[in-house]
Amino acid sequence: WAWRVEFEGLLAIADAFRNSSPAMVNRALPGPMDHPQIPALAERGLLRVNQFFEVLNERLATREFIATERFSLVDITAVVAVDFARVVKVRVTEAHPHLLRWREAMGLRPSMSL
């Protein structure tokens, strides 16, 4: 699950952001070389972010935590991904009730409050 959160979640958000943000013009890929934005990759990134939210919502339908029966690094990474999705205007809503419940529960944990 750690891999899925990173690759299906965080990288999808990064694709959408790097290929759409005015701040990232010619910075669509990390590194020293310029790479132009590709709007179709931004659209695909948004689709992938929404698919990732669906996957998490389904996973959390019968579970308190994503990977194990206890709070883990996967939950921490997923909180980062879910919150980071705001940069591409994707938010957890009532369309994902299990993901919404989980995110609210994560926010109540002393270790997750800022």
Q: How confident is the model at residue 111 (pLDDT cuts 50, 70, 90)?
A: confident
Average pLDDT for residues 25-34, to the nearest whole number?
Answer: 94
**Residue ranges of the domains in the chain?**
2-112
pLDDT for 113 beyond 80: no
**What single-letter amino acid sits at 47?**
L
**What single-letter amino acid sits at 30?**
P
Q: How confident is the model at residue 99 (pLDDT cuts 50, 70, 90)?
A: very high
Its pTM stands at: 0.92
For residue 80, give both structure tokens: 């980062």
CATH of 2-112, one of 1.10.730.10, 3.40.50.2000, 1.20.1050.10, 3.40.50.720: 1.20.1050.10
* Closest of 66, 57, 61, 21 to residue 39, by C-alpha: 21
Alpha-carbon span 87 to 73, nearest angstrom: 22
For residue 40, give both structure tokens: 């179709």
Average pLDDT for residues 39-64, to the nearest whole number?
Answer: 98
* Closest of 58, 45, 41, 48 to residue 95, by C-alpha: 58
Q: What percent of the chain has pLDDT over 70?
A: 99
| Amino acid 55: pLDDT | 98
97 and 57 Cβ atoms separated by less than 8 Å: yes
| Amino acid 112: pLDDT | 83
